[in-house]
Chain A
Amino acid sequence: MNLDFGIIAVVWPALLKGSLVTVQLTLAVLICATPLAVLVALGRDSKIPALRLPLAVFSAVLRGIPPLLVLFIVFFGLPPAGITLDPFPSAVLAMTCYMAFYFGEVFRGGLQSVPPDQWRAAEALGLKPSRTVVRIILPQTLPAVLPPYISHATEVLKGTALATAVAVPELTSAARQVFVVTFRPFEVLIVAALIYAVLDGILLTLQYWGERWAARTGTSIRF
C-alpha cells in the first residue's frame, strides 16, 4: 500500500472540528452523568425501599441495553412523544442516562469502601448530609473510584463515536466524511485513532494525578 500522510495537511481542519465535538460530547456526558451517578449510588443504598428498588431495576435494565438503542430511543422515540432534540443534546441525554447507572455502580463501590464511622463523625458534628458527601465522603472514595471511573470515561470517549448514527459531527463521523471525499481511508483513520489515543492519554493522566493525591494525603490508608 502506498501511504500518503500528506493528505492530513489538507484535511486537518475537518478532523480538528470533529475532535472538538468529541471532546465537548465527552465532557458534557461526564459533567452531567457524574453528579447523577453519585445520586444513583446514594439512592441504591438508601434506607428508603421506594428509592432503592426502582433504581435497582432501572440500573439492571439500562445497563443491559445496547447504548446505540438508548440513543435511538432518545433521538427517534421521543419526537412522537412531543420531545424533539437536536443530535448533540440527544447524544448527551442518551449517554448521560446510560452512564449515570454505570458510574452509579462505580460510586456505589466507592461509598462502600468508606468506613461508616466517617458518616457518624460528620453527623455528630452537625454537618449536613450534602456537605458530608461532598467534603468528607466522596474525596475518600477516590482511590476506589478513580481506576474504574477513568476506564468508564474512556468508554464514554469511545462511545461518542456512536453519535455518528444520529449525525453528530464528532471525530469518527468527520473522519469518514473526509476519507469518502479524499479516498484516503487508511491515513485518515490512523490519524483519527491517534487523536483518540491522545485523548485517552489525558484521562489516564488525570488518573495518575488523582492517585498521587490520594497517596499523599493517605486517603488510601485504612485505619
Chain B
Amino acid sequence: MTSATDPNKKPVAASDDASGAGPMVAVRNLRKEFGSLVAVEDVSLDVNAGEVFAIIGASGSGKSTILKCINFLEPPTAGEIWVDGRRVGVVETGGRLRPARASELRRSRADIGMVFQSFNLFPHFTALQNVIEAPMAVRGLSRSDAIGLAKELLDRVGLGDKFDEHPRRLSGGQQQRVAIARALAMRPKVMLMDEVTSALDPELVEEVLGVMKNLARDGMTMLVVTHEMAFARDVADSVVFVDGGRVVEQGPPSEILRAPQEVRTKAFLQRILRTDG
C-alpha cells in the first residue's frame, strides 16, 4: 500500500474516480491490542465526505475501539488513520515520522466530533455552557460568538427552549441532543457516534435518530456504531459488519442487510431481528 510508505500522500480510495479527492476518513490496516487481547485486527475503511457509514456487530466485536482509535482516544497498536487527507497521531518532520505531540493530537481531535452512548455531558454546566466550552477553549471563539453558535445548534437539535437547563433536568434524549450540539459546535469534519441511542428509553430513540438523519441530509460525514438496523438501512451509505475485531463484510445496506453473503453476518442479523421483535 503506497500510503504506508508515503506519509504525505492522501490515501486514495479504491472506488475513487479521476477527480482525485480522497476519502474524508481512511483507516488502514488498523490493529489494536489490549495486553494480550487483540481487539481490532487489520481493519481498513474508507468513508467519503458526506457519507454515513454504519458499523454493526456483536458486543465486544471491537466497534467502539475502532471509533476510539480514529480520534486516538485509544492509540492504535498499528495501522494508519487519515482524516481529510491528514494523518492523525503521526507527524512528519524532515522526512521522518514521529508520534504527534499532545497539542497536535488535540488539534486533530478538535476536527473529529464524538458522541457517546452515555452522553457524558458536563453535569455542572447548563446545556448552553456545555456547548460553548470547547469552542471558546479550543477554537478561541469569543464568548458572545460561542453563545450565538451554541444557540443556533441547540435550536437545530430542537432544544431552543432548554439553553439554561442543567443536564439532570433533561431527558436522556434531550441530553444526547445537547451532546450532539456540543460536538457540532467544534465544526467537525466527521462525527463519530457510538451507540448514541442505546442508553435511551425506546420512546426517546426517534428524536435522536431524527437529529442524526438531519445531519446526514445536511452532508455531515458520520461513522455510526448502531444496533438500529432500520436507521442503517434507511440512512447509511455503507454498512460494515465486524466480528472478532475484523471486518467480515462491507457494502451498501441493501446488500449487507438484505442479502448478506457471510454466515456470521446472517447469524448476527437474525439474532438482532429476533431480539428487536
Alpha-carbon distance A207/B36, docked complex (angstroms): 47
Confirm or deny: B138 has a beta carbon within 8 angstroms of a beta carbon on chain A.
Answer: yes
Kindly report which residue of chain A lies nearest to residue B105, judged by CB atoms: A126
Main SS of chain A's interface residues? helix
Contact B120 A120 (CB under 8 A): yes
Alpha-carbon distance A178/B183, docked complex (angstroms): 64
Contact A223 B118 (CB under 8 A): yes
Confirm or deny: B219 has a beta carbon within 8 angstroms of a beta carbon on chain A.
Answer: no
Contact A127 B124 (CB under 8 A): no
Q: What are 11 A-B contacts with C-beta separation under 8 Å? A: A117-B116, A120-B73, A124-B71, A124-B114, A125-B109, A125-B133, A125-B134, A140-B123, A219-B123, A221-B123, A223-B167
Contact A123 B73 (CB under 8 A): yes
Alpha-carbon distance A85/B121, docked complex (angstroms): 48
Closest 5 pairs between A and B when the two form their complex, measured CB to CB:
A218-B168, A126-B110, A121-B120, A125-B134, A124-B114
- Chain A residues with CB under 8 Å of chain B are 115, 117-118, 120-129, 131, 135-136, 139-140, 217-219, 221, 223
Confirm or deny: B182 has a beta carbon within 8 angstroms of a beta carbon on chain A.
Answer: yes
Contact A128 B73 (CB under 8 A): no
| Of A115, A121, A128, A223, the contact of B106 (CB 8 Å cutoff) | A128
Kindly report which residue of chain B lies nearest to residue A116, judged by CB atoms: B120
Contact B124 A121 (CB under 8 A): no
Contact B122 A121 (CB under 8 A): yes
Contact A127 B137 (CB under 8 A): yes
Residues of A within 8 A of B112 (CB): 124
| Of B121, B122, B124, B138, the contact of A126 (CB 8 Å cutoff) | B138
Contact B109 A126 (CB under 8 A): yes
Contact A221 B106 (CB under 8 A): no
Contacting A at CB under 8 A, from B82-137, are 102, 106-107, 109-110, 112-114, 116, 118-124, 133-134, 137
Contact A124 B73 (CB under 8 A): yes
Alpha-carbon distance A221/B168, docked complex (angstroms): 8
Contact B123 A135 (CB under 8 A): no
Confirm or deny: B215 has a beta carbon within 8 angstroms of a beta carbon on chain A.
Answer: no
Alpha-carbon distance A223/B116, docked complex (angstroms): 13
Residues of A within 8 A of B110 (CB): 125-126
Residues of B within 8 A of A120 (CB): 73, 116, 120
Kindly report which residue of chain A lies nearest to residue B169, judged by CB atoms: A218
| Of A124, A131, A140, A221, the contact of B109 (CB 8 Å cutoff) | A124
Kindly report which residue of chain A lies nearest to residue B175, judged by CB atoms: A223
Residues of A within 8 A of B213 (CB): none
